[in-house]
Each structure stands twice: as C-alpha cells, then as structure tokens.
Amino acid sequence: MKKLFSLLLAVMMLCMSFAALAEVPEGYPEIKEGVDLGGAEVFIYDYWTASADRKAEPNEEEQAQYDYRDWIEATYNCKITQIQKGDWTTNVQELINFCTAPDGTLCLFILPPDFVGTPMANNLFADWSKTDLIDLTADKWNASTVGFMTKAGGVYGVATGNSEPRQCLFFNKRVLEEAGIDWETIYDMQAEGTWTWAAFEDMLKQINKDTDNDGILDIYGMTGNNSDLYLMGAFSNGGTFFAFDEAGKLTITANSDETLEGLAWAKEIWANYGYQQPADGSWDYFKDAWKQGFCGFYMYQTYGGFNDNSEMADMADEWGCVAFPMGPKGTTYLSVTSDNVTVIPNVYDDETVGKLALIYDLWTNATPGYDDEFGWIGNKYNFTDDRAVDETYAMLREPEHCASNAVLYIGSLNDVLGSPLLWQLGGATPQELVEAATPAWQALCDTFNAN
C-alpha cells in the first residue's frame, strides 16, 4: 500500500511539474530549465520554527504563499521543509555534526553570525558563487552579509532582504529643548550629511549641566552602552578591527589610524559627557537611567526603542533617533549588522550546491502579488516621530549603511574585543591596549587562516 501511495504521489508531482513548465503564473519567477531534485526533500534548518504545519484556515496572503511554494515544489520535483534543528547556540553544532557524517539529506542551515567562524575556518561551507542559477548581485540578497561571508572571491553564506539596524543614538526631546536645542535640526543635519562628531559634541557640551551648583552634574549629555559607543567610534571613522586581505587571510586592522582615532575620541566623549555606572549599579544601569530623563542622548541599539514590548515602551518623555555621527575619516552613517547567515554544508558536488542555492532563492522570494515594500515599518510609528522611522531607521537598513564586524570569525565580540580592549579603555590608551592584545589576536587569526 505504501509503495502504491508513493508511486501515485510521484505521478502527481510529475504531472504538476509538466503543468508548471507549460505555463508560469503571472508574477512568478522564470523557470530554470533542467533543474530536477528527483523528488527529494530539501530541509532549511533554522533555530526557531517549531512546526512546519500549515494553517488550517489561512488568510488570502498565506494561501497565496502556500500556492507559490507548491508551485516551486512541483516545478523542481522536490519537497521543501523549513524547521528548527538546534537552538541559537547549537544549530552550528548540528551543521558540524552533519558535515562530519553526512547522510545524504539535502539541507541548508541558518546560523547566527556569532558562530560562523569555526565552520568557516574549517571549510564546512559550500561556495554559492560557483553556480549561475542565482545572481548574488540582485537586490534581494543582503549585500552586507554577502560581503561578510566572502573570502578569496568565494561567497560562503547569504542573507536576504535588508538588515535590521543596530547601533543608533536616541535623544530625549524634552532634555534637548530645555538645553536650548531644536531637536529637528539633528534630523536636518543627518539629511544634509553634516551630523558629525563635532556637531554631536557641541550638543553634549550644551546639555551637561550642574543645576544646583554642587560641583556634580545633574543633567548629562548622554548615557548608554559604552561598548557600542567605542565600537561606533571606530566604524564611524572608517575603521575596522579585522579584515580579509587580498589573499583571503584574516588580518588585524585595529591598529589603523582610523580605528585608534575613533576609539580615542569615543573614550574622551564618554569621560566628559557620559552618565556612567554607579558603584552599586548593575551592568545595564543605563536602561533605567535613560528612562528617568536626565540624559540627552542614549547610545544603544534600535531594538531598545522600535520593537514591540521594547524597553522604552513605558518611557514618559518623547524620544527621537538618529544615526551615529560621522568621524572626520568616515564617509557615511553606519550601523554594525548582525544578520542571520544561511549556509550550504560543504558535502555536495557543485551541481547540487547550485540546486540548493536556487531552491533557497525561490523559497525566500516575497509572495507574488504581495510584495510589500514597507512591511518592515509595522507599528514603529507608534513609538516615536515619523522622521525617526522614515529617515533614520529606513536609511540604516540600506546596504551602504551596514558594516560587518569580522571579529566574529575568531570569537565573540565580548571575548575578542570586550575583555582586552573595549572594557579597558578607561584605564589605558587605545594604542597601548591594541598593542597588548595583538599577540593573542594574531594567534587567533593564524589559527583561522591555517585551517
């Protein structure tokens, strides 16, 4: 009975395939002729999809997506299932296990960027750039992630769509107004390209205030996560900490003039204008301090304000948001991205890699007829003013404003940069700390490059 059912299913899929080849529905992608998965099931292993079951009563858009994905399966003679394999920290181990003992399953893995270093160093990712079945220069591919996963000309991982902005500067409208600052001018400077370190520091000086003349500041220019401040000091000035050279070797770039200048400036800004951790304060003291309303700017990440149930949802004062200002050696406003990476295990021949890349390309397309250009906005207008959404958030999503941090190839941000550098800036110069950390960093790079 099972054999009969399997035969009938194969015949049905073949008929559907012929029908699909005969006529492509309006708005659907062109068919890549000659691609046949032979009835195999393709798994897309993420770390969040608990069930691949479809809704019993889908709405119109959901049904349209089901129809489109049925068409993909019929056209290319396969079954596609996106399902959780491991969790945020273990999905990379699942990939390593699979590469160690492949069982013939056709699959892709979606990994957090924090964990790509070890498998990348050990050549466990297939090269997406070898196939002509997809165009990695197309707008749908996240250019920041493609760049991050490019080594010696090969592309070993991808993401789709625009990035989620990360680092940004929130500002308290009331505090700025009381300091005599028209907060609209910050948006204007951002639009004009004149929102710079110097402009930012001028405002910080204006906000700092000892209201009761006791020699202690009562109103501070800023607070927030100083690690984000130091990181953005470097990137906003055109700096980086690690990068691939032309030979595909990971090298230390933290000793560049751009990076050292950015770190030194950020250190000074924090020392002069930052509300810092009290003796009895927890590591995230800045979250509550910001909501209390005695700081003008807040160095943090966008999810703190723009997301549902965000930490700032119950904040009494109104706030706005701009990009981190540009340094003298910077060329544009930036945010350091942290997008999931989709990889293909390096256990298949080039033809199979191409087919898997095509299936993922098709699977991640917007549902035909429902291409919502502004779907990313959601209810963000409920949290802040229109300019924060339309100008700042929208801009920082675009590829030219997204920077990748190659530190993730050799470890976590906290381990590699936090402990030896970012957390120690209060007690030493950037040059001293970079020089002290270089032998350990070089050993990590050597290990990565050797593999």
Q: What is the pLDDT of residues 227-242, one digit of tens each?
A: 999 999 999 999 999 9
- 247: pLDDT confidence band, cut at 50, 70 and 90? confident
Mean pLDDT of the chain: 93
| CA of residue 218 relative to chain centroid, distance | 36
Give pLDDT tens digits for 337-356: 999 999 999 999 999 999 99
| CA of residue 396 relative to chain centroid, distance | 11
Summary count for the chain: helices (H), strands (E) = 17, 14
Enumerate residues 6+ apart whose C-beta is below 8 A from 414: none
The proportion of the chain whose per-residue pLDDT surpasses 70, expressed as a percent, equals 95
DSSP designation for 393 = I
Average pLDDT estimate for 83-104? 97
Long-range CB contact pairs, 137-143, < 8 A, 24+: 140/361, 140/364, 140/365, 142/339, 142/399, 142/402, 143/399, 143/402
Domain 2-163+339-365, what architecture?
3-Layer(aba) Sandwich (3.40)
DSSP designation for 147 = H
- 4: pLDDT confidence band, cut at 50, 70 and 90? very low
**Is the whole-model pTM more than 0.85?**
yes
Enumerate residues 6+ apart whose C-beta is below 8 A from 140: 160, 161, 361, 364, 365
- Please state, in angstroms and rounded to a whole number, the distance separating the CA atoms of residues 314 and 47: 31
- Please state, in angstroms and rounded to a whole number, the distance separating the CA atoms of residues 168 and 301: 6
- Please state, in angstroms and rounded to a whole number, the distance separating the CA atoms of residues 290 and 287: 5
Helix or strand run (H / E) with residue 441: helix 430-450
* Residues 136/158, Cβ–Cβ less than 8 Å: yes
- Please state, in angstroms and rounded to a whole number, the distance separating the CA atoms of residues 304 and 310: 5
pLDDT for res 373: 82
The answer on pLDDT for 7 being more than 70 is: no
pLDDT for res 9: 42
DSSP designation for 369 = T
Residue of 340, 329, 270, 304 whose CA lies nearest to 47:
340
Question: What is the residue extent of each domain of the chain?
Answer: 2-163+339-365, 167-336+380-450
Letter string b/e over residues 122-156, b meaning 16 or more CB atoms within 10 A of that residue's CB: eebbbbbeebebbebeeebbbbbbbbbbbbeeebb
| Topology of the domain comprising 167-336+380-450 | D-Maltodextrin-Binding Protein; domain 2 (3.40.190)
Average pLDDT estimate for 257-263? 98
Average pLDDT estimate for 116-138? 96
Average pLDDT estimate for 317-341? 97
The answer on pLDDT for 21 being more than 90 is: no
pLDDT for res 451: 65
